[in-house]
Amino acid sequence: MKLDQAPVNSAINFITCRFSGKKWVGAAAMYTDHGQILISTAPETINESVSLCHETGAICEAYKLGKRITASVCVSCDDTGKIHILTPCGVCQ
């Protein structure tokens, strides 16, 4: 299993570019079994009961490509702009 800073940096770069200036945003980055990094984020919803976690898109992308996930990280940016590395919620574990 490959574990390093690359997926963390990929997720941080994604939220910095995609959500420039917004607070309380996040993204997940996952390694596939072929070393590819897949990135996803949770879509905004009006109804929280249908919300998805940040990891869902990358998991679906890996499934579409026929690849396995070997490592995962999720990051979030709070209202002060500080980046946090989040632990898996349990569903994605």
Domains of the chain: 6-86 (3.40.140.10)
11-45 as b/e: b if 16+ CB within 10 A: bbebbeeeeeeeeebbbbbbbbeeeebbbbbbeee
Q: Which two tokens stand for residue 6?
A: 């690359």
**What would the pLDDT profile of 19-36 be if each residue is shown by its tens digit?**
988 889 999 999 999 999
CA distance 67 to 87: 23
pTM (2 d.p.): 0.86
* Cβ pair 93, 86 in contact under 8 A: no
**What would the pLDDT profile of 35-79 be if each residue is shown by its tens digit?**
999 999 998 888 888 888 899 999 999 999 999 999 999 999 999
